[in-house]
Structures are given as C-alpha cells and as structure tokens.
C-alpha cells in the first residue's frame, strides 16, 4: 500500500479540524504507516439511537471518508451496547435506553444513509456489544477503577447538570469508559469525534496507555451550526437538514441559513478543493446571495446529483422568489358546479394539521387563492366547469384545485 506524502495527508486531515491531540503523534503514526505500508486504524463510533442522519453527522463521516481515500482502515462502531446508556455528552438529561430491536433497525438505517458518504466496501463495521457484552461485573469494576470521580465530574456537561440540581445516573459515568474500552479492543490509532466528544476520546487514550498500548490520537471536528445559525445542528432543535431529505427541501433549507454560516458550511460540508476555499470566504462576504445559492446547489448536487440540484434551484425560484405554484403541486378535483368551503379543501389536501390552524392562517393572510389573500374563514369556493385555482397555504404548501372533466 502506498500512501500520499505525510504532508499531503496532513493537509487533507486538518481541513476543518478543530484540534488534534497530540498532533506530533499523528505525524509520527503517519510516517510509520507510510514507511511500513501499514494503514492506520481510524475509529468512529456511531449512536444507533438516532436513525436519521443530517449534515451535522456528515462532517465527521466525511472526515472518515477522507481517511479511507488516503488509504487507511476506517472502522465504524455501531454502539449497540453503549446505546443502553446513551451518551451523556452535551445532554442536559438522562436519555431513555432503547430496546434491542429498535437499535437494530436504527443501525441498519444508519448504514444505508452513511453509505452515501463512506466507502462501504472498504469499511469495517463492528458492534461493540461483541466485546462490551462479554464483560462481567468484575471486569467492569476493574475498568471503573481506571477513572476518578473528580476527573469525570469536571466534565462540563456533568458539572452543569450537577450544579443545576439535575439528575445524573451512575451508569452515565460508565459511558466514557465503555467508549474508551472500544479503543482498547480495536487498538485504534486515531479516533474521530465532535468537540463535545473530547473527554470521551481522551479516556480512550488513557485506557490504552493503562493497557500498554500506543495511545490513539484524538481528532476533533467542530459541531456544525444548524440552520438557525446559533445552535449545533440537531434533530431536537429542529435546525437540521437530513441527508435523505428531498432535493427541493435541501436546497431551500440551505438557502435559508444565516449569511455568516456560508463559509463554514463550504469548509465542512463540500469537497471544494482546499486551495479554493479562501476565495469562497471572500465571495461569501462580498456576494452572500449568489454564494449561498451556489452552496445550496453544491450540497444538493452531492446527495442527489446535478440534475436534481438544477431542478431544485428552479423550484426555489419558481415558488419562493416568483411566488408561483410548483408544477408538481397536488391536484384536487371537484365536480363542476359544486361549492366547497375553503377550510374543508385545505383539510382535504392535508395542508395544515387542524382546522384551527387553517383559520388562523387565513386570518393572518397566509392563505391565498390565485394570489388573492382569503381572510374570510367561511369563504366558499364554487367550482365551475373548466375552472382551476392555485391554492397557497403558508409559505410553502400548495395545491391545484380543478374541476373534474
């Protein structure tokens, strides 16, 4: 196996990376690997409690993919055993454990989605129940003796919860140990994680040293800021863009991010060449509108291809900029001569979740028929033979109403 030069590898590895602990060890490992032709073992743990991957997850998955492309051995750990605990990192609550079936279903769905980013043919996939599930109580006690309480409660999320009088269950303390044990078992050279994983990654290093192994290098990626522009992308904040999301939504959502996110998204989410990044930084400031369009197109293209991305741009221009009804809007047919309350039509089309919501929207001017706002909640629509109406509810729900032929 021949690898690119250490310098070239480093350039790729360091893109977007927040911290490498310690960097000189990484360089050493890369040098040895190049000399001996032996790939490094790169470990990434995934949490099968959340089946839906979003662009936030893609940051780290892309980093793993880069290691794959450099010729190293990527290992994806399905944390089916650690899911019994639920990673307390960044949480302010204890997580409810999932059942085994749920975890299995989620793990499968995770792989389906991660396959869009990783090279599955070269990926080694392991389940940590294979070794963690084999440990008996004595093993656990021995393992727990390797970490002090002082060390663990100095962790930000724990100390915060503790000081806020929020509950912390004892088993949550075991999470970092379990994750660290994964590193020992796999003899990993590098472990990837978000910045919120720093503590867990360092415990892995610590445990490997305790087991007379060369300690892993910890590589931290930033947490992608979500579409709201303030918090990390996360399903629970509803500021995410799913990897599986349809092209139109993906494009529209990217376009709605705050301007000052543009550059970091370019850096973390696209495969634009490192050398071109500074140029994009300038463009993001001088011409945010077009640069963001380009970003939206680029990201959509990565997951859905060129044609779909073009189509998504067109859809956006049509529906949002020109405020026209999309070509593929649902069509509802009514017998000619019949009369219907608009309220009922909206309900029938499933454009809102309740009649109350429909009434509210109408009152507030959020419902229009052929570009005319309908504010009377009792508005009745008569369908004549051959008539056609364009119905818009809220910012982006549409339907075409037609007379039956």
Partner RNA sequence: GGGGGGAUACCAAAGUGGCCAACUGGGGCAGACUGUAAAUCUGUUGGCGUAAGCCUUCGCAGGUUCGAAUCCUGCUCCCCCCA
Q: By the criterion CB under 7 A, which residues form the site for RNA? A: 162, 165-168, 228-229, 238, 255-259, 288-290, 292-293, 320-321, 343, 353-357, 359-361, 363-366, 377-378, 394-396
**Of 122 and 377, which CB lies nearer to RNA in the complex structure?**
377
Query: Could you tell me the smallest distance in angstroms from the CB atom of residue 331 to RNA?
Result: 22
**Min CB(395)–RNA separation in Å:** 3
State which residue, 2 or 236, has the beta carbon closest to RNA. 236
Comparison of 50 and 360: residue with beta carbon closer to RNA:
360
Chain position carrying tokens 């509210």? 360
Residue 229 CB, nearest distance to RNA (Å)?
6
Q: Min. distance of Cβ 50 from RNA in angstroms?
A: 17
CB 257 within 8 A of CB 229: yes
- 138-146, Cβ contacts within 8 angstroms, sequence gap of 24 or more: 140/174, 143/177, 143/181, 143/207, 144/173, 144/174, 144/177, 146/177, 146/206, 146/207, 146/210
- Inter-residue contact 254 to 226 (CB < 8 Å): no
CB of 203 to RNA, least distance (A): 23
User: Side-chain half-sphere of 182: how many Cα atoms within 13 Å?
Assistant: 30
Q: Give least dist CB 259 to RNA, A.
A: 4
CB of 322 to RNA, least distance (A): 9
What is the nearest approach in angstroms of RNA to the Cβ of residue 42?
A: 36
Q: Which of residues 115 and 229 has its CB atom nearest to RNA in the complex?
A: 229
For residues 157 and 357, which CB has a smaller minimum distance to RNA in the complex?
Answer: 357
Tell me the helices (H) and strands (E) count for the chain, helix number first.
Answer: 17, 13
Tokens of 19: 């911290």
The strand ranges marked E within 195-254 are 217-221
Nearer of residues 1 and 149 to RNA, judged by Cβ: 149
Residues 6+ apart with CB under 8 A from 148: none
Interatomic CA distance for residues 78 and 63, integer angstroms: 17
> Least distance to RNA from the beta carbon of 210, Å?
30
**In the bound complex, what is the minimum distance in angstroms from residue 175's beta carbon to RNA?**
17
DSSP string, 298-318: HHHHHHH-HHHHHHHHHHHII
Distances (CA, A) of 398 to 163, 168, 325, 343, 344: 49, 47, 7, 14, 15
The answer to whether the beta carbons of residues 258 and 229 sit under 8 Å apart is yes
Other beta carbons within 10 angstroms of residue 88's beta carbon come to 23
Q: Which is nearer to RNA, 38 or 340 (CB)?
A: 340
Sheet strands (E) in 180-227: 190-194, 217-221
Toward RNA, which CB reaches closer, 50 or 256? 256
What minimum distance in Å lies between the beta carbon of 366 and RNA? 3
Other beta carbons within 10 Å of 238: 9
Cβ-based nearer residue to RNA, 33 or 352: 352
Q: What is the DSSP string of 83-127?
A: GGT---TT-SSPPPPPPHHHHHHHHHHHHHHHTTTS-GGG-EEEE
Cβ count within 10 A of residue 207: 24
Cβ-based nearer residue to RNA, 18 or 149: 149
Q: Which of 17, 13, 19 is nearest to 42 (CA)?
A: 13
Nearer to RNA, 214 or 242 (CB): 242
């Amino acid at each position: 196996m021949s690898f690119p030069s250490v310098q070239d590898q480093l350039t790729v590895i360091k893109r977007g990376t927040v911290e490498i602990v310690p960097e000189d060890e990484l360089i050493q490992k890369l040098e040895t690997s190049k000399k001996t032709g032996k790939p490094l073992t790169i470990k990434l743990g995934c949490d099968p409690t959340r089946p839906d991957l979003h662009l936030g997850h893609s940051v780290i998955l892309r980093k793993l993919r880069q290691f794959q492309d450099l010729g190293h051995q990527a290992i994806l750990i399905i944390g089916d055993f650690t899911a019994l605990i639920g990673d307390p990192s960044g949480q302010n609550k204890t997580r409810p454990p999932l059942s085994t079936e749920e975890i299995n279903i989620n793990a499968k769905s995770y792989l389906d989605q991660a396959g869009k980013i990783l090279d599955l043919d070269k990926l080694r996939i392991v389940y940590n129940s294979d070794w963690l599930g084999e440990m008996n109580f004595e093993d656990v006690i021995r393992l727990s003796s390797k970490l002090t309480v002082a060390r663990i409660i100095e962790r930000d999320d724990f100390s915060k919860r503790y000081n806020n009088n929020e509950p912390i269950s004892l088993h949550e303390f075991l999470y970092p140990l379990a994750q660290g044990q994964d590193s020992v078992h796999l003899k990993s050279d590098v472990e990837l994680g978000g910045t919120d994983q720093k503590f867990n990654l360092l415990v892995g290093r610590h445990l490997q040293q305790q087991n007379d192994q060369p300690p892993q290098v910890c590589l931290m990626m930033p947490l992608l800021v979500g579409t709201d522009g303030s918090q990390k992308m996360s399903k629970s904040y509803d500021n995410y863009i799913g990897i599986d999301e349809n092209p139109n939504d993906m494009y529209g959502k990217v376009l709605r991010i705050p301007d000052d996110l543009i550059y970091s998204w370019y850096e973390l989410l696209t495969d634009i060449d490192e050398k071109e990044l500074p140029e994009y930084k300038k463009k993001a400031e001088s011409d945010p509108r077009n640069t963001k369009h380009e970003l939206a197109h680029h990201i959509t293209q990565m997951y859905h291809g060129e044609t779909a991305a073009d189509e998504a741009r067109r859809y956006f221009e049509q529906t949002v900029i020109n405020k026209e009804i999309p070509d593929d809007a649902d069509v509802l047919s009514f017998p000619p001569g019949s009369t219907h309350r608009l309220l009922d039509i909206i309900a029938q089309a499933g454009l809102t979740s309740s009649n109350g919501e429909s009434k509210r929207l109408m009152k507030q001017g959020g419902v229009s028929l052929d570009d005319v706002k309908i504010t009377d909640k009792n508005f009745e629509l008569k369908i004549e033979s051959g008539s056609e109406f364009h119905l818009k509810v809220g910012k982006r729900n549409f339907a075409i109403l037609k007379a039956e032929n």
